[in-house]
A = this chain, B = another copy of it.
Amino acid sequence: MRSLPQPAPESLSLAPVLHALGDQVRLELVRRASTAPGASCSELADGLDVPLSTLTNHWRILREAGLIAMSVDGRHRRVQLRADDLHHRFPGLLDPILRLAARE
């Protein structure tokens, strides 16, 4: 498995993380990723009415902001929420957001 580039934990910054979460589709992808570690992009996007090119863009924004790690596994891209890095860099941020996103 080859990992796609991602920012180092210490270089994560708050505004880009909030920006990445500030879209209904990306928020839902992150929420799903938080409950399905290592799922593929297509599994996580199942049932969302979003064109593939838009989804690709959403995944890139999430990866570049440091929210997810992505690895290439044959024909699949697998997604991992960077929960530990995020908890370490932004303690107390992610849990309320995931909880509130699940409620909406």
Overall SS of chain A's interface? helix
> Taking CB as reference atom, which chain B residue is nearest A21?
B18
CA A58 to CA B96, docked complex, whole Å: 25
For chain A, the count of residues having a C-beta within 8 Å of the partner chain is 23
A15 nearest in chain B by CB position: B24
Tell whether, in the assembled complex, residue B104 and residue A13 are in contact, meaning their CB atoms are under 8 Å apart.
Answer: yes
Q: Cβ of A23 < 8 Å from any Cβ of B?
A: yes
Contact call A93/B104, Cβ cutoff below 8 A: no
Chain A 3-29, CB-CB to B under 8 Å as 1, else 0, gives 000000000011111111111100100
CB-CB under 8 A from A16, the residues of chain B are 22
Residues of B within 8 A of A91 (CB): 96, 100
